[in-house]
Structure 1
Amino acid sequence: MAHIDLFFSTLSPYAYLAGNRAEEVAAKHGATLTYKPFDIMALFSRTGGTPPKDRHISRVEYRAQELVRQAKKLQMPFNLKPAHWPTNGAPSSYAFIAAQNADAGDLGKLMHAICRSVWAEDKDIAEDAVVRGCLEEAGFDPSLADSGLLLGAETYAANLEEAVERGVFGAPFYITDDGQRFWGQDRIEDLDLHLSGAL
């Protein structure tokens, strides 16, 4: 059985635009999927990247155009300048890790709900009430937002180290069990083709 590790940031607009397509690909191929939320801002400095606020204007302008284009292509609501970005992604990541350990709801739906809160609903995912709402929407106990914080912090930090070690430099980032790496929501089709044996 194939396996996919999905490295993502709850702050990433591209993780939002991925929707649940990776989950659909995994289901299509009978693949298991493990989610690994990590600190994207910390990753940039570790892997030669630059945080959005520090990028050259040409990159800033291109990113602005491309995000809007991709959202239109995918027919997804999108706010290029959300009210609460950047914010602290740790609380939502800790809650996600607690939910993954609880194994009771829909993790793909939870990831999308958190990211959608930022990029389409102008909510602050550093706020407990927002995280609780996302957990409930995805079929998890909202109280998970308050549990496993130490384990969440340890796993969040470990996911960052694993990301650096395994060649991750952005989000979302998909790694198959045979070591193939796919960066970005626009590479999910390639992930599908690889699992089909076509790539």
Structure 2
Amino acid sequence: VTLAEAYAIQSALGEGLPVKGYKLGLLSPAKQAQMGITEPVYGRIYSAMIHESPVRLDRLIQPRVEPELAAVLCAPLAPECTPGAAAAAIGGWFLGVDILDSVWNGYRFSAAEVVADNSSGGGFLLGARMIDCHPDGILRLYLNGTLRAEGDLQTLGNVYERLCWLATMTGGLREGQIIFFGSPATATPAEPGVLEVVGPDDDHLIARLEVE
């Protein structure tokens, strides 16, 4: 299928469910070139995908986790909006975790395949407190006290331009929606125990991952 058809499949799989927000993926030019595309991809977030601790890993197929920066919108954004309007629409920044999951064995897929599978969106964790964070600095993810992934938020590019692109692609964004801006770090396989994300100003998101 084409990429446009893959987005139609993604939409159809969530038909009737209100969209709580969106996630961005495949942000780096190198990854885009590898996948044969020239822009990022996005997936939809539904209410049931927002988790609180503890998170049940055995309800997922092959979960992986990524540290991310997320924002909650305090105003709607129309298609073709400006980066200034996008910046003004951000009501608050939060630490987040994208809990990846995939129907494709070993996460081996084409761009259209991953988009049709909701861009590997399995679930999401959102920090309990708003952080005073301009989108730069280092995010680190620990599992059971061991550093598993880290990356510089500058690799995400201009987050306001990303938000404008997303608003155009989706036909507009609504007040209250949550946007996950992608991860500056490599995904790591999830495992039971304590997950911790540490932000640039020593902000923390802590959650427990469990299996039955």
Please report the TM-score for the alignment, with normalisation by the length of structure 1: 0.29
Relative to its length, the structure with more helix (as a share) is 1
What TM-score do you get using the length of structure 2 for normalisation? 0.27
Higher strand share: 2
